[in-house]
Amino acid sequence: MIEVSGLTKRYGAKTAVNGLTFSVRPGHVTGFLGPNGAGKSTTLRMILGLNRPTGGTATVAGRPFRDRPRGLRHVGALLDAQDVHGGRTAYAHLSALARANRIPRRRVDEVLGEVGLTEAARRRVGGFSLGMRQRLGIATALLGDPPVLVFDEPINGLDPEGVRWVRGLFRRLAAEGRTVFVSSHLMSEMEHTADHLIVIGRGELIADESLAEFAARGTPQSVTVRTPDASELTPILTAEGGSVRPDGDQALTVTGLSAARIGELAFQHRVLLHELAPRTASLEEAFMELTADSVEYLAGDAR
């Protein structure tokens, strides 16, 4: 369990994180989302005891993480995949960490196998691609077999097979009862990975809810209706309280009525339907809408 309470970080006049309060529960993959500059990395660094909060607290299993000796057994983290000594081999990097944290040497081979780097283990990290570095960072996080795992933008640089693998890995780690906290600035990366979401913007909490609750926030649900009798159906739906917008050839976009009700009305009035399709806003749309006011860096004159 990760608990954050009133967490605040100021850099001079700049408030990077402002009074954040949330918990990250075990047994779930929790996505940590926000536009660029929202304060995700700063929050994760405070949780890991790498940055000192200006105010508030962050604890892991009830204690500030800084107070934990042999930290890798308590929390595994991937913060910056580039942050590895390039002259070392993957094997040497993991072995040194295992020694410092009193982790058995056999774990080095186990985690290298787990992330698919067994073949590359004796190569220098300096020659690794970004995807390979991400895999090594994930291996580092797993090394101490910790109950709590934190990943900052772990999907960056992975190829499609790597993305699929990492999603499966996170789900498995959560199913084992661990706390898995994963940051991203892209909703599309989270929607197949996380079951709970914490969304921040400009350092403040915007949402803390399940993926299903988040999805229900989007623009109102609409129904696409395709019929050769659009002109006949439109007044019928309007009379029932629906709002109807023509949408190209023989198609209507209807809001305010369920697909089931539209089907019943069409049946009662003997109107032929070719298609009746409920449409929910995509999670990406819901995310954009939710964070629109807190996007810090916009291209061109979009602001």
Ligand X SMILES: Nc1ncnc2c1ncn2[C@@H]1O[C@H](COP(=O)(O)OP(=O)(O)OP(=O)(O)O)[C@@H](O)[C@H]1O
Return residues touching ligand X (CB under 6 A).
11, 14, 16, 34, 36-42, 185
* CB closer to ligand X out of 11 and 267: 11
> Can you tell me the distance from the alpha carbon of 256 to that of 262, in angstroms, rounded to the nearest whole number?
10
CB of 224 closer than 8 Å to CB of 252:
yes
* CB closer to ligand X out of 42 and 134: 42
Number of Cβ within 10 Å of residue 254's Cβ equals 27
Three-state DSSP state, 67: helix
Q: Which residue has the tokens 């090394």?
A: 143
* CB closer to ligand X out of 183 and 222: 183
Structure tokens at 145: 């077999």
* CB closer to ligand X out of 15 and 23: 15
Closest separation in Å from C-beta 60 to ligand X: 19
Closest separation in Å from C-beta 128 to ligand X: 21
Closest separation in Å from C-beta 175 to ligand X: 27
Closest separation in Å from C-beta 228 to ligand X: 49
> Can you tell me the distance from the alpha carbon of 228 to that of 207, in angstroms, rounded to the nearest whole number?
43
> Can you tell me the distance from the alpha carbon of 17 to that of 45, in angstroms, rounded to the nearest whole number?
11
* CB closer to ligand X out of 8 and 101: 8
Closest separation in Å from C-beta 298 to ligand X: 13
Instruction: Give the residue among 168, 191, 278, 206 at the shortest CA–CA distance from 22.
Output: 206
* CB closer to ligand X out of 36 and 268: 36
Greatest alpha-carbon pair distance for the chain in Å reads 77
What is the radius of gyration, based on Cα positions, of the chain? Answer: 24
CB of 76 closer than 8 Å to CB of 148:
yes
Closest separation in Å from C-beta 203 to ligand X: 7
> Can you tell me the distance from the alpha carbon of 84 to that of 137, in angstroms, rounded to the nearest whole number?
9
Instruction: Give the residue among 207, 203, 208, 206 at the shortest CA–CA distance from 46.
Output: 203
* CB closer to ligand X out of 40 and 167: 40
Q: Which residue has the tokens 């590359």?
A: 120
Closest separation in Å from C-beta 216 to ligand X: 25
Phi, psi of 134 (to 5 degrees): -60, -40
